[in-house]
Amino acid sequence: MPSNLRGKVSTTFDRGAPGSGTSDSGRRGSHAVRWWVLVVLGTAQLMVTLDATVVNIALPAAQHDLGFSDGSRQWVITGYALAFGSLLLLGGRLGDLFGRRTTFVTGLIGFAGASVLGGAATSFDILVAARVAQGLFAALLAPAALSLLSVTFTDPTERPKAFGIFSALAGAGGAVGLLLGGMLTEWASWRWVMYVNVVFAAVALVGAVLLLAKPAVTERPKLDIPGTVVVSAALLAIVYGFAHVESTSWTDPVTLASMITGVVLLAVFVWLESRVAHPLLPLRLVLDRTRGGSFLAVFVIGMGMFSIFLFLTYYLEASLGYSPIKTGLAFLPMVAGIVAASTTAPSLLLPRVGPKIVVSASFLVAAAGMALLTQLELDSAYAAHIMPGLILLGLGLGGVMTTAFQGATAGVHHEDTGVASALINTGQQVGGSISTALLTTVASSAATDYLSSHKPGALTMAQAGVESYTATLAWGAGFFVVGAVLSALLIRNAPLAPSEGEPVIAH
């Protein structure tokens, strides 16, 4: 980290756009610092996103080591999802209340500590407790990182590039997690999929302490306690309900009660937010067409990406016999596509055709990639049948994410960037929970239908597995087509306004 960067943060660190009144030398210093800040935020974002998949690869080894049952195994994943999904809006607002720098640093330290606890776990209960703690601190960290990005990069010439890089890391993190999880599990131990987070957190923490400016708090917004309690309970009920489907059924009383409770509480939350003086989620954030359409786009991406990572991983390992490391490597063309689209679409496409066209067309590209993958068979070749679909998926996902992330935070006042960023992460998390439950049912039904209409045998069983995976991928393609239609209807094809920069105190 260059030592000369420290001390160049002026009181216009987050507002260093031309015309802001800063000197040329001040703008150059701030420019240099801002891009190093992006490295810090990107490292934290990569840590959070890869953690969603890196643990999945190591779960069988952890189960063997700690001796817990198949029925209990889901709680290692669900515990994280429940804490993360239900507390995101609160975490985002806490960033607005106590400062995004403070919240970001707290999230990093807490996430690293929870990871150490999980890596050293000697029992199933300790491992689940560590995963819940990871989810809690991720709910502080993820919205703080995105909101810091939003208030730091307000210059229209810099903002698209910064969001493109950040979106590339967010999209690629899941695939990188598969590869990293396979490498650590095979070459070291499942415990290192937890310990490795300490490395990411340490790098981000050093950078945060050195580079992130302290906010100049002029008026601290009040916390909407009734809204916080209601929406946290609503999200908890919804995420739990969909997680419960995987081990029971859609008609299970607990599942139905959880989902109905969650929907009712969400309706109560909207009613509360329209009446309180200091709402947790100001409705103006979602009623704007471009922002509302962008939030929906992120929700659809969350639904589609889970079908890619979960069921395509099953196909590669169960049907084609890939090792965990080889499976992770197989996703790299998609990562390359995400990086390419995320870093080029903001500068090449967005200024020329507008956000509506970029998001809608990118969804259709992703749908085409998913449609190609629905043709997979037991003897499909990677280069001819798998890689082309993954490349298209990467290009489509990258185009949607970089534009939707910008659109969801476009024109947001700095006091609301935390909750706006939290809503992005909430959309991804809830979308993923819904998708996992729904597509698990789709996969099971497809396999059952195939088995019931074919003669029993090993080949029939293997083909039934392929049928179940391709059925989920077909649904994923459908999700992306719906995303394209919604984006075309809702998002305005006008330039995206930057967020307001946050006043800060010089170091």
Q: Which residue would you say has higher pLDDT here, 15 or 321?
A: 321
C-alpha 84/C-alpha 239 separation (Å) is 10
Contact 237, 258 (CB under 8 A): yes
Asked whether residue 196 carries a pLDDT value surpassing 50, the answer given is yes
Q: Which range is least confidently modeled, 267-281, 350-364, 488-502?
A: 488-502
DSSP tag of 504: E
Rounded CA gap, 231 and 424, in Å? Answer: 15
pLDDT higher for 52 or 283? 283
pLDDT value at residue 23: 36
Q: Per-residue pLDDT for 6 more than 50?
A: no
The predicted structure's pLDDT at residue 498: 67
Q: What is the pLDDT of residues 156-173, one digit of tens each?
A: 788 888 888 888 888 788
**What share of the chain in percent tops pLDDT 70?**
90
Exposed / middle / buried, residue 488 (Cβ in 10 Å: 0-12, 13-18, 19+):
middle
Integer Cα distance of 437 and 146 in angstroms:
28
Q: Which two tokens stand for residue 353?
A: 């055709």
| pLDDT attached to residue 215 | 65
pLDDT digits over 391-433, tens only?
A: 999 999 999 999 998 888 888 877 778 888 888 888 888 888 8
Contact at 8 Å (CB) between 15 and 154? yes
Residues 127-146: tens digit of each pLDDT? 999 999 999 999 999 999 98
Task: Identify the band that residue 270 occupies on the pLDDT scale cut at 50, 70 and 90.
Answer: very high
Average pLDDT over residues 243-269: 88
- Give me the mean pLDDT over the 245-266 stretch: 88
Q: Which of 316, 326, 382 is closest to 185 using CA atoms?
A: 326
List phi, psi (to 5°) of 223.
-90, 130
The pLDDT score that the predictor gives to residue 139 is: 93
- Region 63-86: mean pLDDT is 83
HEC profile for 98-137? Answer: HCHHHHHHHHHHHHHHHHHHHHCCCCHHHHHHHHHHHHHH
What SS3 state is found at 502?
coil
> CA separation (Å) from 370 to 168, 366, 481?
19, 6, 11
Question: What's the pLDDT score for residue 390?
Answer: 96
